Structure 1
């Protein structure tokens, strides 16, 4: 593989090709963008290009250095990521980074360290990284891969060059699903639409039969009553088989997808409410029901519900109890939906 295989990131490719050509690589970068759009893949291809023995603006994929990087066996390239079953990068891992950078490169003029999920460093780890960024060795290139810049301390952001990565186009996601994962055209097209430009999310949705579950979810939400919050939460865990998962991080991944499904549903309601005909509706098969439902809710209520869902996503990333998080989110949504909804004409006259 090489930069030629990287899709939808032409701006980032051009940036680094010019930096390599003019020998103006920075000591620290932040690669920012949503999950599953190829930031880690890009960082590996960048390392191959920098270390390539044929010295150009793209990796040859045939030299000894390129082959060893592909097989994770190159002495001047290091990856740091959260340990298994851990949600944070710990200070011990950043001390290891310091030890690594204290030793000069063995095979190149550079030593590259790629920190995956760098927005999940704990406070001690962030302080340790900051010390390294304040006085990096001349041969060091440190790449922080994050989904949210807001989770990275300003003192760290200010010492890095920020490179923003774009979501993949639905066409690219569809082609990858067909060619790499052998999905049929219709399913690949539907997954490409709901994946929001993330191949990682598209493959997760495919493996969990989430498209079918999303249809169940919409049907169930449309029938909810005010006091269904606890029973509905239990149904969700059973339908998504969340209680059957043993690894906590896997549970969080499923719950995150579930919450995103709620977000898409209420986003669709808002589009129907505001008449945004140019914006796509994700639950297109339910369009008539969504339009009908949107008539009973005000724009203000829909915005408030969407904020509740976004807040829940944020809490999920900060070790909140999954069961309580979901129950609390649904309770708040139903409270807003039933206590702040627009009364029907018949209800209006009965209240007079």
Structure 2
């Protein structure tokens, strides 16, 4: 667990939170809204730790008893709400862990802070139960909702919370962090940054993967040989990506970076801006074969495939439609 100064990007949100602390205008309810791995948990941790810090400043001191408890995840007045069902936060979870518990005053801190991760998974009944607490919280109560999609929360909830939307972090900031802090090689950092599209957590995940080169080589091999392969062969390759410990959407993002390189080279003939510079001959070859419309069709198909999988459309059907589009559009 770290303070605000260790967080990469999100300067506006950090400034907002620190100003609220300095001016003693901390809200009783917040929504941190952003995609998975974008930094919501880091921000919530830093905010909670700072609020409970015994020094009372806008950055946790990391030395007081409260900060040491927070670092070891033992701060009794920072409560992470848990749930047994993986895809649902039920009404009893909220009643028992928030509504009932918040009536008990803090053990040793100025606040009792409740952090609900994946808040969009709360059932309607759970959200209505939480609403009663958000409407009339005790003076020491603070509720922080972490969500990938705030639109899935009831408007009665969102209207009573301060919503902070996490935005993409500048590629230069992510690359600097990967190279200077994690000591990631330049080439690997470039691919990780391009793949992450402003998401620091995604960049770290790929850059830290022991099988990074294997992931990259698998994807590139597929893209270089897709025209010679039968659809069922490619499908078997993609089905096996769980062995690479990477999510299918992230794998799609790697493919998307490849076709963006093809499009960029076709349009500009510039090599320096390519992510896959060491595959220049293959990039050139595909750029000469593919039309602009064909490349755009592939990029659009990748986005549609991600949306369909998120909507739980049949996996095999989604992949088959995607592969047929890629094969047809890259001739």
TM-score of the two chains, using structure 2 as the length reference: 0.81
Equivalent position to 2:286, from 269, 287, 293: 293
In structure 2, the partner of 1:306 is 299
| Contact preservation (8 Å) 1:81, 1:117 | no
Q: Distance in 2 between matches of 1:213 and 1:99?
A: 47
Aligned residue runs from structure 1 range 38-77, under 5 A? 38-77=39-78
Shift of 1:116: 1.7
Shift of 1:150: 4.0
Q: Are residue 94 (structure 1) and residue 101 (structure 2) matched?
A: no
CA-to-aligned-CA distance 1:151-184 (integer Å, 9 cap, x gap): 4444433332121334444454445445655545
Counterparts in 2 of 1:309 and 1:185: CA distance versus 1, 3 Å: closer
Counterparts in 2 of 1:118 and 1:273: CA distance versus 1, 3 Å: farther
| Contact preservation (8 Å) 2:32, 2:164 | yes
- Give the paired residue count: 328
In structure 1, the partner of 2:141 is 140
User: What is the SS of the residue equivalent to 1:314?
Assistant: helix
Q: Distance in 1 between matches of 2:157 and 2:25?
A: 20
Q: Distance in 2 between matches of 1:55 and 1:144?
A: 23
Counterparts in 2 of 1:334 and 1:24: CA distance versus 1, 3 Å: same
Counterparts in 2 of 1:330 and 1:274: CA distance versus 1, 3 Å: farther
Shift of 1:106: 3.1
Q: Distance in 1 between matches of 2:67 and 2:13?
A: 20
| Contact preservation (8 Å) 1:9, 1:165 | yes
In structure 2, the partner of 1:335 is 324
Equivalent position to 2:231, from 229, 233, 246: 229
CA-to-aligned-CA distance 1:45-89 (integer Å, 9 cap, x gap): 111211111212222211111111222222221112555x82443
In structure 1, the partner of 2:112 is 111
In structure 2, the partner of 1:22 is 23
Shift of 1:108: 3.4
Shift of 1:197: 3.9
TM-score of the two chains, using structure 1 as the length reference: 0.77
Counterparts in 2 of 1:178 and 1:306: CA distance versus 1, 3 Å: closer
In structure 2, the partner of 1:7 is 8
| Contact preservation (8 Å) 1:52, 1:66 | yes
CA-to-aligned-CA distance 1:90-130 (integer Å, 9 cap, x gap): 43322222222233333334221111222333444344434
Q: Which structure 1 residue ranges, 5 or more long, are not aligned?
A: 243-249, 344-352
Counterparts in 2 of 1:188 and 1:305: CA distance versus 1, 3 Å: closer
Counterparts in 2 of 1:219 and 1:93: CA distance versus 1, 3 Å: same
In structure 2, the partner of 1:212 is 214
